[in-house]
Amino acid sequence: MRYPELERHAKLFGEYTELRVQENRISRIQILAGNVTNNETLAQGGVSARAFKNGVWGFASQPGSDDLSIARAVKLATENVRFLAGREKRGEAKLPARPGSGVHDLSTARTRVGQKGYMEFAKAIDARIAEKYPKLRSRFVAFSCLDMEKTVYVSDGGSSHSMTPRTFVYVDMTAESGADTVELGDIFGGRGQFEDVFSDPADLYAGIDAIYEQLMKKAEGVYPEAGLRDVVLGSDLAGILAHEAIGHTVEADLVLGGSVAADYLGKPVASELVTLVDYAHTALGKPCPIPVHVDDEGTEARDAVLIEKGILKGYLHNKETAGHFGHEPTGNARAYQFSDEPLVRMRNTAIVPGTSRLEDLIAGVDDGYYLLRPSNGQADSTSEFMFGVTLGYEIKKGKLGRGLRDTTISGVAFDMLKTVTALSDDMTWSCGGMCGKKQMIPVGMGGPAIRCKITIGGR
């Protein structure tokens, strides 16, 4: 629920201050091998205040959003910043401002079905898998929705109310393969509350059938040959590459902390075919998975072009890093819980589609791999990355071959992106991305398929 007139507490402010009232509401259901192993809701709400003085910050949070809690949070944040400023004895510092404002509420207008409806939906999916694929060794269905509702007021004039929901269903299957087992999962859903994302479980059946067919090929699959190979990365892998391997290295706080991107601004870091953007709220004319119109520092959020035609063009900023570099703030300051301070975070990071057809990308590989689905990913300040890959196929003479067992791919992103020879003309977003960096935060990751060279692990 929107907190009305948050600005009336501005009289409590003694320094530059951000005030945020927030509640996160989560529903989770898990069905493992037909057993409901989790059925829960979680709600965490409260108020936080963050104050800035002479180059340092003070932060405090309290559960609840009554006047007393708000006054206590502001008082503690102010005391904290004055303690630290007093010890550090730095000179006066100012933060740049581009205040944003607005109400961006993505709550559904439909009648809510509640946890009972979610459970019926999840059970229907589980029952369908059990009935159609009785030979599976195990199956797992998870339902999750997160509503993040924030009201922000900042002493430089920024203010906003947002309700950003995300709902998804994860389906995972395990099959026998000789004496071994193989596993494959996929995720469905995205931006919005349940009622706006899902209607009929049958809408997911084609996707579930696809997981099964892919799993059967994986069960008969092979381990890839280790080494530097020609590959086509599907859009999910392009998205995680954009996020992990490039996005993190150009977060300006990490640039200050030693990221290799500090040396590359204005220099070529990728093929001229590659343009990479962290979109604020709208990409290619459509709303993004995690739209951010005003960030948690009250800054109007704008797209951040990170790589343009192969040249590193910019970083992701909060107010403080924008001030340090003399750049415009991008609106990338985001916090997960009411008790978290805003950090420089990605929003919707994607490689922009190219002009080739996916079939032609594959046809152009004589001996390599088509890699589709990541399990997890990590990247380094050097832009060296690693992604687990759970779904892929051989490419032999331009045609798809046998399935692959689980593997990993790795490389140095600023080298590997120079090997890109084609990008497909379509693009998809992954719908369940969560990024970890002191706090977790939902993010969007997307891209087209890309053809490049990459190091693949084998046995």
Partner 1 sequence: MDKRETVEYALAAAKKAGADKAQALVTYSEKTELNVDAGRMSLLRTTGNVTLSVTAFRGGRKGAVTINKIDAASIDEAARNALALAATSEADDANDIAPAGAKREFDSGDSEPDLGAMYDRMAEFLAHAGAKHPIVKLEQCILDFTRNEKVFGNTNGAAFVDRLGAYEFTVMFTSKDGDKASSFNYSGGVFRKLDKPLAEWGALDELMRQSAEQTETDTVDGKFIGDLVITPHCMPEITEALKYVYLGNGTLIAGTSPWKDALGTRVASESFTLRSVPNSDRVHVADRFTADGFEAKDAAIIEKGVLKSFQLNLYGANKTGKPRAANSGDALVIDPGAEALASIIAGVERGILLCRFSGGQPSDNGDFSGVAKNSYLIEKGKIVRPISETMVAGNFTALLKNAIAVSKETVDFGHSSFPWIRFGGVTISGK
Residue list 119-148, contact with partner 1 (CB under 8 A): 119-120, 137-138, 140
Pairing of β 367-379 and β 227-233: parallel
- Cα-Cα-Cα-Cα dihedral sign, residues 217, 220, 223, 229: negative
Applying CB under 8 A, among 260, 307, 358, 423 the residue interacting with partner 1 is 260
Residue number, 40 or 359, with CB nearest to partner 1: 40
375 token code pair: 């399990």
Kindly identify the residues of this chain, within the stretch 337-366, that bind partner 1 according to CB under 8 A: 339, 341
Q: How far is CA 129 from the centre of its chain?
A: 28
Is residue 268 at the binding interface for partner 1, with CB under 8 A as the rule? no
Which of 71, 386 has the CB closer to partner 1?
386
| Candidate ranges 91-99, 273-281, 358-366, 403-411; the one touching partner 1 (CB under 8 A) | 403-411
CA 291 to chain CA centroid, Å, is 11
Q: Which of 1, 181, 199, 402 binds partner 1 (CB under 8 A)?
A: 181
Distance between CA atoms of residues 181 and 172, nearest Å: 13
Contact positions with partner 1 (CB under 8 A) in 296-335: none
Give how many residues touch partner 1 by CB under 8 A: 80
389, 420, 445, 450: residue in contact with partner 1 (rule CB under 8 A): 389
- Token match 């005003």: residue? 294
Choosing from 91, 134, 227, 266, the residue that interacts with partner 1 (CB under 8 A) is: 227
Give residues with Cβ within 8 angstroms of 396, minimum separation 6.
Answer: 366, 367
Check: CB of residue 171 under 8 Å from CB of residue 214.
no
Window 64 to 103, contacts with partner 1 (CB under 8 A): 64, 76, 80-81, 83-84, 87-88
- Round to whole Å and give the CA distance between 392 and 41: 36
The angle that helices 114-132 and 205-219 make with each other, rounded to 10 degrees, is 40
- What's the gap between Cα 191 and its chain centre? 12
Stretch that binds partner 1, among 348-356, 357-365, 386-394, 424-432 (CB under 8 A): 386-394
Which residue of 147, 295, 384, 394 would you call a contact of partner 1, by CB under 8 A?
A: 384
Is there binding between residue 257 and partner 1 (CB under 8 A)?
yes
Tokens in use for 307? 């790589």
Question: Rounded CA gap, 140 and 75, in Å?
Answer: 47
Contact 298, 154 (CB under 8 A): yes
Q: Which stretch binds partner 1 (CB under 8 A): 8-16, 225-233, 295-303, 305-313?
A: 225-233
387 binds partner 1 (CB under 8 A): yes
Which C-beta is closer to partner 1: that of 146 or that of 389?
389
Instruction: Return the residue of 71, 124, 130, 256 that touches partner 1, per CB under 8 A.
Output: 256
Options 12-20, 255-263, 293-301, 444-452: segment touching partner 1 (CB under 8 A): 255-263
Q: Please, which of residues 37-66 interact with partner 1 by CB under 8 A? A: 37-46, 55-64
Nearest 5°: CA angle at 103, between 102 and 108? Answer: 155
Q: Residue 218, SS3?
A: helix
Q: Which of 380, 398, 421, 428 binds partner 1 (CB under 8 A)?
A: 380
Length of the chain: 459
Minimum separation from the CB atom of position 357 to partner 1 (A): 29
Q: Are 375 and 432 spatial neighbours (Cβ–Cβ below 8 Å)?
A: no
Shortest distance in whole angstroms from residue 288 CB to partner 1: 27
